[in-house]
Structure 1
Amino acid sequence: MNTPATLTYVYAVTRRTEPLGEALAGLLGIGRAPVRLLLPTALPTAPTARGSGGLAFVASEVPERDFNESALKDHFEDLQWLEDVARTHHDVVQAIAALAPLLPLRMATVYQDESRARQALTAQHHTFARLLDELQAHTEYGVKIYLTPPTAADARSAGGATATSAAPTSPGKAYLHARRAQHHAREAVYEQAKQAADLIEAIAARHTTRRARHAPQRGALTGPQENVLNDAYLIPDDQAEPFRRAIADAARNFPDLRIEVTGPWAPYSFAMSDPDSPADPRQSPP
């Protein structure tokens, strides 16, 4: 049960298994609070499709002063706080995913108390069970395409013979010529990125079941390289290695790009795509 100054933080929905119960004994969540399973307030009226165990929330207590609606608005501007919470949330999710089927919930999904969390699990039980069945024996992988930063070599390679046979006659013309050559070089790299994206899509059609498009990453997450593709794929477990090998083979055709496969991850991009999924996770249900 919650102490007076805490909220119930929910990391994921899972199915109860014996190995999972044993592993939770030493698992710590946000603020090093013990992680536990919360069961629904009532048994479902129909069994789950694969029936490997009843559903449960993976939860822990968090300080109300840090996770109430007002505090979260402030904390979401604090990058260090966000990084710490996101890392712990991810660590808990990945630890559970290694032991049992799992639907990861969005960071900062909180309920006013344990009773409200149990009620929410009961209300959403059949939706969660169906989503777990759909994601059974699937794992999420990401594919990213990065462009390398422009360099003086870009301008020289794009300029080619023109750069030497028709040298500009003034510093101003030389500058414009170099800028034009660099622009052409970057256009060529963007064209390579488009071709690479088309090839990745063709590979994904053979090995994956679903795709989620995410906005390209910016700033400190990418460094000097430009991220132009940031997709996630849901892949049957027996197709994961063939998919990774096919992407690695394709990447060799694009030496001016960095093509990166990330994962395996719990299915963050696909767990809550259902219209019946919980609303704003920062607010407790009424």
Structure 2
Amino acid sequence: MSTPEETLTYVYAAVPLTEHLRDSLAGLRGIYGSPVLFVTAAPRIGPVGPTASSLAFATSRVPLSDFGETALKNHFEDMEWLESVARAHHDVVQALSAHTTVLPLRMATVYQDDDRARQALAEQHRTFAETLTRLTAHTEFGVKLYLAPAADPPEDAPATDTGSGAPRPPATPGKAYLQRRRAQHHALEAVYDQAQEAAATVEAIAFRYASQRVRHQTQRGALTGPAENVVNDAYLVPDEHSQQFKAAIEEAAGTFGGVRVEVTGPWAPYSFAMPPEPPDESRPPTPAEEPGP
């Protein structure tokens, strides 16, 4: 007879739970195809705002063998596994956000069991409820600015006329190199000046509609290709202004030569959730740390 596999409680997000949400997402599946279930808890302190009395964690059961502390450290080096889990996490959050305000939690937020998750929810109830109230009727949009790679000046620039009718004598190799480097530097300066102007214009337009901004670290390498990412911002936009926000930035983007503007969204407000880290005692213990009865 096989022994049931040990599992942990994986938390995707905090949401205000209603019967409509339960019914609408009854068949929702998350990581490894596990059903998405709701864990509720009463607040430790008095209710805050309209979401407080119905606050819940959206959860799934996941195997300890993959989501225990040691296993996670190993999996974080496995890009294929990370992509699969991140996609499943995101899909659940997006499904929730189609029906209600959602406060996404960090990927791989796990608790030893539902009771530990319920305890954490009760302890952080006020913070979650206040954040959900702030995020209600708002959506996240991403705004990124990219520079095309600068073209190198030609190796052999044509000789210019000296004014006397005779062509300028060719420069020595060392002088030609310095001239190319100087031209390259001036071209790069011009591109960055243009990028600064574009960033200032986009920011001014965005804040006509957005209520908050988070400035993320710019991306590098395979995420951007040959282009250079110089701005990587997230804006929290009231739903009533979301169409105007996107249209206004996309319209302005056509006026920036040499600078590409990318607007993404609408997304669940990942950048504006920032829930507190789970308390240490709520993290799943390794077998050596397993508490006694």
Normalised to the residue count of structure 1, the TM-score between the two structures is 0.87
Q: Which residue of 2 aligns with 1:109?
A: 109
Aligned partners of 1:168 and 1:133: how far apart in 2? 70
Q: Which residue of 2 aligns with 1:82?
A: 82
Contact 2:30 2:92 (C-alpha < 8 Å) held by counterparts: yes
Aligned partners of 2:145 and 2:20: how far apart in 1? 38
In the TM superposition, 1:1-286 aligns within 5 A as: 5-40=6-41, 42=42, 46-51=46-51, 54-152=54-152, 155=153, 164-165=160-161, 168-272=170-274, 277-279=276-278, 284=283
Question: CA-to-partner distance for each residue in 1:79-120, whole Å, 9 max, x for gaps?
Answer: 111111111111110010011111000000000111100111
Runs of 4 or more, structure 1, over 6 Å off, are: 280-283
Contact 2:142 2:234 (C-alpha < 8 Å) held by counterparts: yes
Describe the shift of the 1:55–1:199 C-alpha distance in structure 2 as closer, same or farther (beyond 3 A). Answer: same
Identity of aligned residues (%): 57
1:168 Cα deviation after fit: 4.3
Describe the shift of the 1:4–1:193 C-alpha distance in structure 2 as closer, same or farther (beyond 3 A). Answer: same
1:178 Cα deviation after fit: 2.7
Normalised to the residue count of structure 2, the TM-score between the two structures is 0.85
Aligned partners of 2:44 and 2:255: how far apart in 1? 52
Name whichever structure is richer in helix by fraction.
1
In terms of mean alpha carbon deviation, does 69-78 or 127-136 score higher? Answer: 69-78
In terms of mean alpha carbon deviation, does 66-75 or 262-271 score higher? Answer: 66-75
Aligned partners of 2:109 and 2:32: how far apart in 1? 15
**Larger Rg over CA atoms:** 2
Aligned partners of 1:282 and 1:228: how far apart in 2? 40
Question: CA-to-partner distance for each residue in 1:233-281, whole Å, 9 max, x for gaps?
Answer: 11111111111122112212212011111111111111126xxx23479
1:282 Cα deviation after fit: 11
RMSD: 2.5
Describe the shift of the 1:68–1:49 C-alpha distance in structure 2 as closer, same or farther (beyond 3 A). Answer: same
SS in 1 for 2:49: coil
Question: CA-to-partner distance for each residue in 1:104-153, whole Å, 9 max, x for gaps?
Answer: 0000000011110011111111211111001110111111000111224x
Aligned partners of 2:144 and 2:278: how far apart in 1? 29
Gaps of 5+ in 1: none
